[in-house]
């Protein structure tokens, strides 16, 4: 039997939780210009402090990335830990979780994205080797493979809260920890999995069925 203990990997906060001055800077998708400015506002890190900075250069497009106009953001423990632990390069942009609108698409992007698409995903905030990669900004340069389209019935605010949490669970199940078969390559024998959830930070309900059903030969049992 595989036993997976899942505890809160993150805490959520959307743009609506921020002061009006910062929220207004980060929520302007509806007024998005057809041209991209050369500078923007962003939350930058220096030493163990972060602040809203003006005049930050908008990142230049990279082949497998896309440029997004940020609408909403979410907070994760990694955000404040990189600041408190002095793990960011000077003037690094903070932030990992976001939602927004596609502005430009890199020439080597293989997923189906175009300008104007509503997207959500994860950026590498406080990236020491690429200081411009964070998403706590008006624009974000993000790896296209880490992005998804937002359904029309899901708001920007709600969409910003799940990407890094889902990625964390996926790595625990299929990569770094349990190394389970991917749903596209299901096992052919019964292999029970116990998922213990201490609260609902990573899952919308206590029932593990949607997560593990594709990877099991027998139907999952309801959570107690």
Greater model confidence, 101 or 19: 101
> Which string of b and e fits 46-76 if b means at least 16 CB within 10 Å?
eeeebebbeebebbebbeebbbbbbbbbbbb
Whether the per-residue pLDDT at 129 is higher than 60: the answer is yes
Which residue segments constitute the domains of the chain, with CATH numbers given?
A: 2-9+164-215 (no CATH), 15-159 (3.90.180.10)
Whether the per-residue pLDDT at 9 is higher than 70: the answer is no
What pLDDT score was predicted for residue 100?
96
What pLDDT score was predicted for residue 153?
94
Q: Sort residue 209 into left (φ over 0), alpha (ψ -120 to 50) or beta.
A: alpha
Segment 165-187, tens digit of pLDDT: 898 888 888 887 888 889 899 88
Contacts of 41 by beta carbon, 8 Å cutoff, 6+ apart: 25, 52, 53, 54, 56, 137, 138
Whether the per-residue pLDDT at 218 is higher than 50: the answer is no
Whether the per-residue pLDDT at 105 is higher than 70: the answer is yes
Average pLDDT over residues 59-77: 95
What pLDDT score was predicted for residue 23?
54
């Amino acid at each position: 039997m595989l036993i997976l203990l899942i505890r809160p990997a993150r805490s959520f906060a959307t743009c609506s939780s921020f002061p009006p001055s910062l929220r207004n800077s980060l929520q302007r998708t509806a007024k998005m210009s057809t041209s991209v400015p050369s500078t923007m506002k962003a939350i930058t890190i220096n030493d163990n402090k972060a602040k809203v900075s003006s005049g930050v250069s908008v990142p230049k497009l990279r082949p497998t990335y896309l440029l997004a106009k940020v609408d909403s953001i979410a907070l994760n423990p990694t955000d404040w830990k990189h600041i408190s632990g002095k793990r960011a390069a000077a003037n690094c942009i903070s932030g990992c979780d976001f939602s927004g609108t596609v502005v430009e698409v890199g020439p080597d992007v293989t997923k189906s994205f175009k300008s104007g698409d509503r997207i959500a995903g994860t950026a590498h905030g406080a990236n020491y080797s690429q200081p411009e990669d964070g998403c706590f900004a008006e624009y974000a340069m993000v790896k296209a493979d880490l992005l998804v389209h937002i359904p029309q019935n899901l708001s920007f605010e709600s969409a910003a809260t799940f990407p890094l949490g889902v990625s964390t669970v996926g790595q625990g199940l299929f990569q770094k920890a349990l190394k389970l078969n991917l749903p596209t390559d299901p096992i052919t024998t019964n292999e029970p999995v116990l998922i213990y959830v201490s609260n609902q930070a990573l899952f919308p309900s206590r029932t593990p069925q949607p997560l593990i059903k594709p990877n099991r030969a027998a139907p999952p049992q309801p959570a107690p």
